[in-house]
Amino acid sequence: MDKFLTLTSLRRVVQLFSFIVFVYGAYLFNTFYSTDKLTQALPALSCAYDRQGGDYCALIPLQHQMDHRVANIFNGADILSSLMPTLITLGTFFILILLFNKAFCGWSCPLGFFQEVLNIVAQKLKIKQIETLNINTIKATRVTKWLIFLFLIFIFPILTGVGILGHEFGSAYCSICPSRILTTLFVGDFSQIYIDSASTWYFILSLIADLLFGLMIALALFIKQPFCRICPMLPLQSVFKKLSFLKLTKNGSSKCDSCKMCVKACPMDIVEIQQQAVNKNITFNDCTLCGRCVEFCPHDDVLSIKYGKFSIFKSNKEYFKKRIKIEKES
């Protein structure tokens, strides 16, 4: 098997194409104004602060809608008109998740791709990798991303809208998001690396943003997908994931011997993949549908990526042997 004919190689081609579209898409589609973006409900971190981007993620409109629309309900505004923009954003988001599920993270997120590239570079430089995080760290990161999702995307913006918190919390997540710095840097805009002295909280949030971006870069040299583990996009996707046509399934029965090869291959350290299951959708909350667990399963037809009832890629003993050989040679 040629190393360029693997699922991972195909995924990286898609990632590169998506990176170009989402970061430089305005040059390709003449979409400089936000109303002309491909969609304002992308299930991946493509930042609206990048004016050259062809798209932006759902997290920006959701924060603004919590602040400027949903919060108005507590001030006596009409419920339906206050909720309608949010329902439209979530409806568009749902359609995209229905079609492609969490593959937006594993196949098209610019920030996810950037972290993978950093990790590949580190491997080429022979930097020692941490293959799997300990279980306590994994549990902590899983809780952290839900807290970020609930407080920074919904609760803080609503509290800003009703006047309890200051304006700086109206888009609290965007204020610290590494994608805001990354995508603007890639179009030559250095304005998002700064320390804001307008107020104490602006100062703290801007400091967190710079530190988080630097920490992400440093950690990506040693572990896979460090920021993805706390990204609030995964909880938002998880709300709809069971309804999607695209899914990861397991039919272990007597074939699976819990060898943990799938866990070792998983960039998100989803230890539950090894558990026995028969014809079950195992698209876990942290899963990005990258397909590496399927590639590195040594048993026929145990793990599959399916679209509806159709298997589009499934584990295969011969593929596994060749894939391991490629991994050792690279």
52-57 average pLDDT score: 88
Q: What is the pTM of this model?
A: 0.92
Answer yes or no: are the C-beta atoms of 270 and 286 closer than 8 Å: yes
Domain boundaries, the chain: 3-237, 245-329
Position 31 scores a pLDDT of: 56
pLDDT tens figures, 162-172: 999 999 999 99
29-53 average pLDDT score: 79
**Range scoring the smallest mean pLDDT among 35-44, 144-153, 259-268:** 35-44
Residue 154: name the closest of 248, 221, 239 by CA: 239
> Is residue 295 over pLDDT 60?
yes
Answer yes or no: are the C-beta atoms of 288 and 310 closer than 8 Å: no
Question: Residue 197 — very low, low, confident or very high, per pLDDT cuts 50/70/90?
Answer: very high
